[in-house]
Amino acid sequence: MHPLSSCIVTVCRGCCCGTVAAQPDVDSEAHLAALQAIPGARVRVSQCLAACELSNMIVVNPSSEGRTRGGRPAWLGGVVTDEEIALISRWVEGGGPGVAPMPAELRGNLEAVQMLTARLDGTSN
């Protein structure tokens, strides 16, 4: 565990995320348990993060040190694989936003949320 790791990981488990109906081939309970096992991280479950079309949603909030270093919350959409959960776990254990670089393999998850936000805000082409 990184000595500065006290990131907050918010996991959506509302109307779509974490449900068999939305993601029948995803073991969402195992994913939640893996995130809860990250040393030093605080994991909370949200009813809905309002991005249902990108289930499963996870938000990684920086630790105090990470925020001091410029880290900002990372909204990750479409997190459905064991590999993505492992990447998030290693990133958070290494310090998370502002402390450790986000794994390149998660950029697509981040960009999906950014595109959705731009579309909803009317700022996309």
The DSSP code sequence of 21-69 is TT-TT--HHHHHHHHHTSTT-EEEEES--S-GGGPSPEEEEPPHHHHHT
37: closest CA among 98, 92, 105? Answer: 92
Return the pLDDT at 115. Answer: 87
CA distance 42 to 61: 10
Position 98 pLDDT exceeds 90: yes
Average pLDDT over residues 47-57: 89
Residues 58-84 pLDDT 10s: 999 999 999 999 999 999 999 999 999
Average pLDDT, the chain: 90
Position 5 pLDDT exceeds 60: no
Position 55 pLDDT exceeds 70: yes
pTM of the model: 0.89
**Confidence class of residue 14 from pLDDT cuts 50, 70 and 90?**
confident
The domains found in the chain, sorted by start residue, are 8-121 (3.40.30)
Position 3 pLDDT exceeds 80: no
Position 9 pLDDT exceeds 90: yes
**Residue 10 contacts residue 113 (beta carbons within 8 Å):** no
Q: Which residue, chain included where needed, has tokens 């565990």?
A: 1
Position 7 pLDDT exceeds 60: yes
